[in-house]
């Protein structure tokens, strides 16, 4: 579904430092995994999806600027500080050049890369937006030729740019770790429950069937908006800040505690407002709003699944993933409860990311609390393919 474009370097490729980067252009945030060189340490970045033009960036602002353009484009934390909110209606592919170069520039700065370097890049987009990939690729390659990130000039002289549908990283990982004979004879369905989009990828005989794969805007934000509708005085951003994820532990035979998976919930206490006399009433209202949203959001999703899922008797395995999956996991298990095929999650990949990142205990707790183990699983699977990482 993607092609590759290569720019010939002006200096020997062997002397050009190279990045391998996967960027998940999410609406709630941009999530990235990357490696420097063939044996570099796995690292991640999470950044604001907001891009804000300005005539004069202040202080230590993070921005992108092109030589022929008088406008500066705030990215990352500087863009987030403008208080602009990402639009749900805006396509993820919009402003793709500034968003991508904001990530690449930050990595280049943090890794102390020289002015010229190489890049293998894969961008994850909803399958419904992949028709824009040739235009986006041309615009990116133009931007790679010369750009300034926060005062540093860069030029990407050896590049490979690919576009993949959301969910393809998880798909690639499962296929890579599955017996070849099963791949050729079985049908797989990948369900990606993201913030803006919910997507279904259908894989037959080891190949993606793009015509039968689907994407919808019934993402997690719909669930948040339902809670807002049925509560009082809350906004989508309030609920997002109240979401917390935790590790689920199990005890091994040797009595060692290990992480078996992850759970997510909305911490109602963080949303309760008002005086002491009204706090209990507020808590009851929010609890009821969440219950109503649970039922109505799943009704939306199940109607979509009924319309687009292939006959389950023809499907051998279904894998569900994405940051919204934890909130509807009980519904997913119930929906496929009588199905005789294999139902699985991306938890194995999420655990693998934690292990490979080798974070400090404090950084790991923050990583888990922000649900990044689950939200980065798709990018991890894609980076394994892109950089040919052994698993």
Query: What's the pLDDT at 88?
Result: 80
Q: Among residues 217, 258, 265, 206, which one has the least CA distance to residue 239?
A: 265
Q: 253 vs 230, 249, 256, 260, 262, CA distance in Å?
A: 46, 13, 7, 14, 21
Query: What's the pLDDT at 39?
Result: 80
Q: Is 358 left (phi over 0), alpha (psi -120 to 50) or beta?
A: left
Q: Among residues 133, 143, 134, which one has the least CA distance to residue 165?
A: 133
Structure tokens at 1: 């579904």
**Apex CA 244: angle with CA 238 and CA 249, to 5°?**
170
Along the 391 residues of the chain, how does pLDDT read in single tens digits? 444 444 444 555 567 899 999 999 988 899 999 999 878 899 999 999 999 999 989 889 999 999 989 999 999 999 989 878 877 878 877 889 999 999 999 999 999 999 999 999 999 999 999 998 999 999 999 999 999 999 999 999 989 999 999 999 999 999 898 888 888 889 999 999 999 999 999 999 999 999 999 999 999 999 999 999 999 999 999 999 999 999 999 988 888 888 989 999 999 999 998 777 788 889 999 999 999 999 999 999 999 999 999 999 999 999 999 999 999 999 999 999 999 999 999 999 999 999 999 999 999 999 999 999 999 999 999 999 999 998 8
Query: What's the pLDDT at 9?
Result: 44
Query: What's the pLDDT at 130?
Result: 92
| 8 Å CB contact between 5 and 141 | yes
- What b-and-e string marks burial along 10-25, b requiring 16 or more CB atoms within 10 Å of the CB? eeeeeebbbbbbbbbb
Instruction: Give residues with Cβ within 8 angstroms of 151, minimum separation 6.
Output: none
Separation between Cα atoms, residue 344 and residue 332, nearest integer Å: 10
| 8 Å CB contact between 347 and 319 | no
């Amino acid at each position: 579904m993607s092609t590759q474009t290569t720019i010939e370097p002006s200096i020997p490729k062997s002397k050009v430092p190279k990045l391998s980067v996967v960027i998940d252009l999410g609406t709630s945030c941009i999530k990235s995994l990357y490696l420097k060189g063939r044996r570099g340490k796995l690292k991640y970045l999470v950044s604001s999806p907001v891009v804000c033009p300005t005539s004069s960036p202040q202080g230590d602002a993070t921005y992108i600027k092109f030589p022929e353009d008088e406008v500066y484009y705030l990215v990352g934390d500087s863009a987030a500080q403008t208080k602009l909110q990402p639009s749900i209606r805006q396509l993820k592919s919009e402003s793709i050049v500034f968003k991508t170069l904001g990530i690449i520039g930050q990595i280049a700065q943090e890794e102390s890369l020289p002015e010229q370097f190489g890049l293998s890049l894969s961008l994850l987009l909803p399958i419904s937006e992949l028709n824009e990939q040739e235009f986006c690729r041309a615009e990116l390659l133009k931007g790679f030729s010369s750009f300034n990130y926060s005062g540093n000039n860069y030029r990407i002289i050896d590049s490979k740019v690919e576009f993949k549908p959301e969910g393809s990283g998880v798909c690639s990982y499962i296929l890579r770790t599955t017996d070849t004979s099963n791949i050729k004879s079985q049908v797989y369905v990948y369900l990606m429950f993201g913030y803006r989009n919910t997507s279904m990828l259908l894989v037959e005989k080891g190949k993606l069937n793009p015509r039968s794969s689907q994407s919808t805007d019934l993402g997690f934000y719909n669930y948040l908006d339902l809670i807002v509708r049925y509560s009082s005085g809350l906004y989508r951003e309030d609920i997002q800040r109240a979401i917390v994820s935790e590790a689920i532990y199990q005890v091994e035979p040797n009595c060692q505690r290990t992480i078996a998976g992850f759970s997510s919930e909305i911490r109602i206490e963080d949303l309760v407002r008002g005086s002491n006399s009204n706090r209990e009433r507020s808590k009851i209202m929010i609890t009821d709003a969440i219950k109503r949203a649970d039922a109505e959001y799943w009704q939306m999703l199940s109607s979509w699944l009924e319309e687009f899922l292939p006959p389950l008797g023809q499907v051998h395995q279904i894998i569900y993933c994405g940051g919204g999956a934890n909130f509807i996991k009980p519904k997913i298990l119930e929906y496929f409860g009588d199905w005789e095929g294999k139902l699985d999650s991306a938890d194995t990949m999420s655990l693998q990311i934690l292990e490979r990142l080798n974070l400090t205990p404090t950084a790991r707790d923050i990583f888990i609390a922000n649900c990044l183990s689950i939200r980065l699983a798709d990018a991890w699977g894609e980076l394994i393919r892109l950089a040919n990482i052994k698993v």
